[in-house]
Amino acid sequence: MRLVARASLSTRMIVGALLSSLTVLVAAGVILSHIHRQATEQAFDERLNVYLQALTGGLASPTESDHSDPADLGDPKFDLPMSGWYWQIDSGGDGKGQTIASPSLFGSRLPRMVTPTLRTSSSDILQGYVKGPDDRNLRVMERMVLTPDGVWHRLRVAGDADDIERAVQAFRFPLLVTFGLLGATIVFLTALQVWLGMRPLGLLSTALSDIRTGQADRIDGDYPPDLAPLARELNLLIDSNREIMERARTQVGNLAHALKTPLSVIANEAAAIDGEVGEKIREQSAVIGTQMNWYLERARTAAASVALGRATELAPVIGGLARVFAKLWQSRAVTLVYDVPSGLCFRGEKQDLEEMLGNLIDNAGKWAASQVSVTARLNEGPDLFVDVMIDDDGPGLAKDLRVEAMRRGRRLDETRPGTGLGLAIVADLAKLYGGQLMLEDSSLGGLRARLRLPALQSPS
């Protein structure tokens, strides 16, 4: 039952058609074979009956007194020794009188039938099977005849039953071949029918996969009337999703702009206030600004993470960031090198990728002595992920402080510029995409930030 539950619809339909066709073909083959055997046996009996009638007519001929050959049946098989075709006449009817037989019996006698069968067309004729003198299976037909002289005679005609079996076997082989070809044709046509019927579902599944991986924005193409409404509803759902995302981003931006001006006024006014009160206001204003930036960023990234059909190639984004940071670090003599395979894509928004990588590269640049390295590699595990490693040759970070460094607003060195939100934003945004941010030891001697994100394809 578990295998059936896991089987696809196409497999279920093909297997169901195969089983039903096999059942019908086997039943039809058995019935046809039985009917053919009956017809063959009946034709054989008709032939024996002709010989029996001829033998009966010979008893009434003037040569009846000459018991050497009462009738000429016209078939040389009755003259060939042990040919399988015999006739025998027992005078007296009780087996104690005179017996004459065909030369083919070669001095032997036909045994009595064990379980004779009465012919329906003639009530005085019995038929059945016996073992012949040479242990050959014989089909026998016999009748009792009363001659005008008042003597009963038992007439028997026997034929080789192997002729029936050979005729049946000769019919079975072409029957099996025909039914085999018929079964194969039925399976092929069923598979073709299932493929044609399920093909629109496969196209719809491919279209949805293209949207999920960012290769398409909508479901396009012509679908049957059964699936066209589903395709339209899915397109409406995708459009609605994008509208919600854009609306959330707009509202986040509007809220940010609405709060920044009053907060700036409060901060400016607090700068003119001396003493403990002014210091407290300035401190709380900074806290409000930090908290506002944090939660606005959370809202924006949460809205972005539910977007469908987004794919961003890593190489162009990292190349652009490298050019930007090369100018920013020019005075510090810090170089940025990167190795990113072309064709490797992140399954998500471009601006989110820029946000995460920008924060990590900026953080590495603050601590680097002379070099920052960015590499990207595909991780072909159970799920397709890309690992982006940002390494610096700075002092590094102790293992017991790495978790603390990714907490929001936590700054381990107040002498360096920043808000303490960079790593926390990256970790939170990566988690929303199903990824992860890890801090490790770098081969350059400093800190390595490993950013694991969902990928779409392997490097070309």
At residue 414, the pLDDT reads 44
pLDDT tops 70 at residue 7:
no
Q: Is residue 443 exposed (0-12), middle (13-18) or buried (19+ Cβ within 10 Å)?
A: exposed
Of 154, 112, 126, 146, nearest to 45 (Cα)? 126
Give residue-wise pLDDT tens across range 324-382. 888 888 887 888 898 988 888 888 888 888 888 988 998 888 888 888 999 999 887 66
Q: What is the mean pLDDT of residues 137-163?
A: 87
**CB atoms inside a 10 Å sphere around CB 166:** 12
Contacts with 85 (C-beta within 8 Å, 6 or more apart), sequence order: 75, 77, 78, 102, 104, 158, 159, 160
Q: In the chain, what percentage of residues exceed pLDDT 70?
A: 80
Residue 412 scores a pLDDT above 70: no
pTM, full prediction: 0.48
Which of 411 and 239 is assigned the larger pLDDT?
239
Please give the pLDDT value at position 5: 57
pLDDT in tens, 111-147: 887 666 766 554 578 888 898 888 889 999 988 888 8
- Torsion sign, CA atoms 19, 24, 30, 36: negative
Count the neighbouring beta carbons within 10 Å of the beta carbon of residue 367. 18
Cα–Cα dist 401/419, whole Å: 17
Find the angle CA(175)-CA(129)-CA(87) to the nearest 5 degrees.
115
pLDDT of res. 67: 45
- Which residues, in sequence order, are CB contacts of 404 under 8 Å at separation 6+? 410, 412
pLDDT at 422 (0 to 100): 67
| Confidence class for position 64, pLDDT limits 50, 70, 90 | very low
DSSP string, 191-229: HHHHHHHHHHHHHHHHHHHHHHTTS-SS--S---TTTHH
Interval 172-181 mean pLDDT = 89
Which of 69-73, 128-132, 195-199, 436-440 has the least mean pLDDT?
Answer: 69-73
Give yes or no for a contact between 290 and 421, defined as CB atoms under 8 angstroms apart.
yes
391 CB-contact burial (10 Å; exposed 0-12 / middle 13-18 / buried 19+) = buried
